[in-house]
Chain A
Amino acid sequence: MAVARTKRLPSRPVILLLQVAVLIGFFLLWHVLTATNILSPFFFGTPLAVLERTWNDFASGVIWYHLGITLLETALAFAIGTVAGIAFGFWFARAPLVSVVFDPYIKAVNALPRVVLAPIFALWLGLGIWSKVALGVTLVFFIVFFNVYQGVKEVSPVVLANARMLGASNRHLFRHVYLPSALSWVFSSLHTAVGFAMVGAVVGEYLGSAAGLGYRIHQAEGVFDTVGVFSGMLVLTIFVVVIDVVVTVIEKRLLHWRPQEAQTTNAQG
């Protein structure tokens, strides 16, 4: 097969090898700097201690509970935010008056840094999972909302006219034209939306809760346990990477009708 001359990259195993090398290099550098006391182990922890702590947390099973809580919050925030975003996105796109009237308010609320809402939600919904879910929803909703709005607005008028000439009723148009078009926009923002759902969950936990990864990190910080903080961050990172892989798989399955032009940017072979 012909390969474009300008964008020639080494093969996939080689890239993977290089990526692992960067990771190992980072840990080695960290290890050397802390072992030689150039960086104080008290402030920076040591990689071996962090890995050991993480391993022990997984082996003893304490982490699974917190991971489960964070995952649950993320999933709920994502699901509720997405459904609400799709519903409102459709409504606004199909009702121009509503969209014009509410436009400045939507923009104002979206411009608000959502972190400031966390204490309010804790006040309203308590310290359980729902205050975290609410925070995540406020983040996810707007991403999905704007994408669905765009997706419905940008349906090609020719495709629409064609479907109508083929006898499509309004219900058919929704099911066969508007929805697939809007969903393609939703799925293209899936990575961002899931990421934001998790940010909402973790930030919420961090600011006040009794369980979850954010809570663990906050606890460790409270007692100057740097190893605990870094271990929490490591678990969080692994969590994010795993979710991102899952999202990519789902995205590929659902958007298989779209031209694959973004291959080079995310190197998904």
Chain B
Amino acid sequence: MAEAPALRPEGTETPALRLEGVTCTFPSPDGRGSTYTAVQGVSFTVAAGEFVSIVGPTGSGKSTLLNVAAGLLEPSEGRAFAFGQLVNGINPLAGYMFQAEALMPWKSALENVAAGLEFRGVSKREAEERARPWLARVGLDRFGDRYPHQLSGGMRKRVALAQTLIVDPKIVLMDEPFSALDIQTRQMMENELLDLWSADRKSVVFITHDLEEAISMSDRVLVLSAGPGARLIGEYPVDLERPRDVAEIRMTPHFLDLHREIWGQLREEVLKGYAQTKLK
């Protein structure tokens, strides 16, 4: 049997996500008509099935880039493409896991997970039937009828993860999703995320300020400079073998080499960012 002909030769496959010269300028919070440029001329691509982390000091506009990729924010300059399509309005191929609490507090865990399917026209009953295995997959099958305030921070993140993944987004955008968790819960969640990800290899853009988290999870780490006008200043492939255990991999010599190399560059930016916040 002949395979369907490949539309593109190997190697020039359409990237899952491509940002081209993205610049985002906001009105300054002091309201005097001055402006603040968060990110300046940022371009990068994420291949299909690739796990990319973006690290940078606080206030370097990491979330801004994610919002552009999600279509929640229109960049002042530049464009974003998802599988070759210009992102204009909400990016329908992307799922977004937010840093802050994003669950609907008036819906139970099960209803929250089912919401995305319901929005896509699936009947409520069927959506909840399909949400059940997802709750089980994040280890919360017994907590379906709990409301978000009745769950712990880690449990809420799991619900949010299931909620994001159930609609099968081709691109998953994650904005420091585990930053509010304690270190043990966090490493558990990181491993769970890697497990889920390895099952069907979606493209992931993972924002974090934690370099160890970035290296242990990703295929590639991008480094943003300190804001304002943050630019991409470094790109590091992470050639650690998979599957990984995020806690164990941190002890390997190769991990430490990578960490030392990237930290060498990131530290300067962190110091710059720190100096700027002190000046204000």
Contact = CB atoms under 8 A, between A and B. Distances in A.
B260 interface: no
A177 B104 contact: yes
Contact of A180 (B92, B106, B108, B118): B106
Point out which of A167, A172, A184, A258 has the most chain B C-beta atoms below 10 A from its C-beta.
A167
Interface stretch (A46-54, A133-141, A155-163): A155-163
Contacts of A167: 90, 92, 116, 119-120, 167
B9 to A, nearest CB: 34
Interface string A128-148: 000000000000000000000
Interface in B77-111: 90, 92, 94-96, 98, 100-108
B139 to A, nearest CB: 21
B163 interface: yes
Contacts of A257: 105-108, 147, 149
B24 interface: no
A176 B167 contact: no
A33 interface: no
Binding site of A, secondary structure by majority: helix, strand, loop or mixed? helix
Binding site of B, secondary structure by majority: helix, strand, loop or mixed? loop
Contacts of B181: none
Interface in B95-140: 95-96, 98, 100-108, 115-116, 118-120
Interface string B137-165: 00000000001010000000000000110
B115 A163 contact: yes
Contacts of A158: 98, 100-102
Nearest to B100: A158
Given A180-B104, A180-B106, A257-B105, A166 B116 contact: yes
A169 interface: yes
A162 B102 contact: yes
B193 interface: no
Interface string A172-203: 10001100110010000000000000000000
Contacts of B256: none
A156 B163 CA distance: 18
Interface residues of A, number: 22
A194 B149 CA distance: 28
A181 B106 CA distance: 8
B106 A166 contact: no
Given A166-B167, A257-B147, A161 B116 contact: no
Contacts of A169: 119
A164 interface: yes
Nearest to B106: A180
- Kindly state the interface size class of chain B when it binds its partner: 20 to 34
A269 interface: no
Contacts of B102: 156, 158-159, 161-162
Nearest to B89: A164
B72 interface: yes
B72 A176 contact: no
A111 interface: no
Contact of A165 (B95, B101, B106, B149): B95
Point out which of B70, B92, B102 has the most chain A C-beta atoms below 10 A from its C-beta.
B102
A172 B127 CA distance: 15
Interface in A205-227: none
Point out which of A156, A166, A172 has the most chain B C-beta atoms below 10 A from its C-beta.
A166
Contacts of A181: 106
A259 interface: yes
Interface string A34-71: 00000000000000000000000000000000000000
Contact of A164 (B90, B103, B108, B167): B90
A168 B118 CA distance: 9
Contacts of A259: 149
Interface in B29-52: none
Contacts of A161: 72, 96, 98, 102
Interface string A252-269: 000011110000000000
Interface of A: 156, 158-159, 161-169, 172, 176-177, 180-181, 184, 256-259
Q: Which 4 A-B pairs have the closest CB atoms?
A: A162-B102, A166-B116, A180-B106, A167-B119
Given A168-B119, A176-B107, 10 more contacts: A159-B101, A159-B104, A161-B72, A161-B96, A161-B102, A166-B119, A166-B167, A167-B92, A177-B104, A257-B108
Interface of B: 70, 72, 90, 92, 94-96, 98, 100-108, 115-116, 118-120, 147, 149, 163-164, 167
18 contacts: A156-B100, A156-B101, A158-B101, A161-B98, A162-B163, A164-B90, A165-B90, A165-B94, A168-B115, A172-B118, A176-B107, A176-B115, A176-B119, A177-B104, A257-B105, A257-B108, A258-B147, A259-B149
